[in-house]
Structure 1
Amino acid sequence: MTSSFAEILTMFSGTRLPDWISQAADANLPGIGTFAIGPRSDLDAGTAGLTTDWDSGPGGDTVNRIKMLKRQMFGRAGLPLLRKRALLNSVPY
């Protein structure tokens, strides 16, 4: 079940997503069935996202880095320190 989903991800074959969701729901595997509910809620977006090979590029990397810094500092500091850490850890592209 997971290998077929991995194949959909790596081969950009999002058109197979509805079939995979049906198989995942019928498999009665804990975790897989509940995971399949997410793409079912917006099937068009899931299919489009798994069909195109577009990448968010450096912008996505920057957002992920800022989120990681925020998680590391959760409850310890406010926005000024988060801003300083984000700027100090920025990588020029």
Structure 2
Amino acid sequence: MCTNLPAPPAHQSRPVSGVPAATLGGRRAHRNGAAPGTRRQGLPRPLPAGQDGRRAAASRPTDQHAAGAAALAREVARWITTAPSRRGLHAAEGLRRLLEHCPELDRTHDLVRQFAAMLDARDAAPLPDWLEQLTTARLPALAGLAKAIRENQPAVVQGITTPFSSGVNEGRITDLKLQKRIMAGRAGVPLLRHRVILMALLRRRYP
């Protein structure tokens, strides 16, 4: 199944010659009073020159694999949620090849486009049947989404059938969080307030 990606292999470090593996991972050291002629436990020998760099380099492929997989997942999600008429040639071809090799992703794409059609037409009549398709898709994530929508279905129906949206409020909240993270520990509330007001003004001029 394309939804079950293999986990990257765990990195196994080589033990330093003459030092047990348990000693290398220990953090507690025996204090004064150790028997003469014995080494203090918990303190590994200094690594040979360049070995730290080799270990760091050996661990990089795992990090790069995880980062690459996350970036690819975000890109594919953007392809799926973008209307077919607005997809570029690269996105359309890449998505087509993915859907051919992954039935689960193909099913998900079909359900996403059905919901987008409901939003475009502002017609919530197909919603119950769509929720049933989510439940029977045999994909746990989609079944959980169907359960969450059913718990608040009247609000979802209003969101589909009316022109009102909380998107503006969500955008302002995103702007506020972004400024807060940028300025964390660097400035006080007065400057934060000034920047938030300025950003709101720019949003009005350049929507």
TM-score calculated relative to the size of structure 1: 0.72
Match of 1:61 in 2: 168
Letter in 2 for 1:44: P
Cross-structure match for 1:21:
131
Match of 1:46 among 151, 156, 177: 156
Unaligned runs of 5+ in 1: none
CA distance in 1, matches of 2:191, 2:141: 38
Higher-helix-fraction structure? 1
* 8 Å Cα contact 2:149/2:156 also seen in 1: yes
Q: How far off is 1:72 after superposition? A: 4.1
What percentage of aligned pairs have identical amino acids? 34
Tell me by how many angstroms 1:12 deviates.
0.8
Deviations 1:40-64 (A, max 9, x none): 10111111221122346xxx53651
Question: What is the CA distance between 1:25 and its match in structure 2?
Answer: 0.6
Report the TM-score, using the length of structure 2 for normalisation: 0.37
Two-structure CA RMSD over aligned residues (Å) = 2.6
Q: Is the 8 A contact 1:69 1:85 kept in 2?
A: no
The number of residue pairs the alignment matches comes to 90
Change in Cα spacing, 1:10 to 1:89, as seen in structure 2 (3 Å) is same
Higher relative contact order (CA 8 A, sep 6+): 1
Structure whose alpha-carbon radius of gyration is higher: 2
1:76 counterpart (151, 162, 184): 184
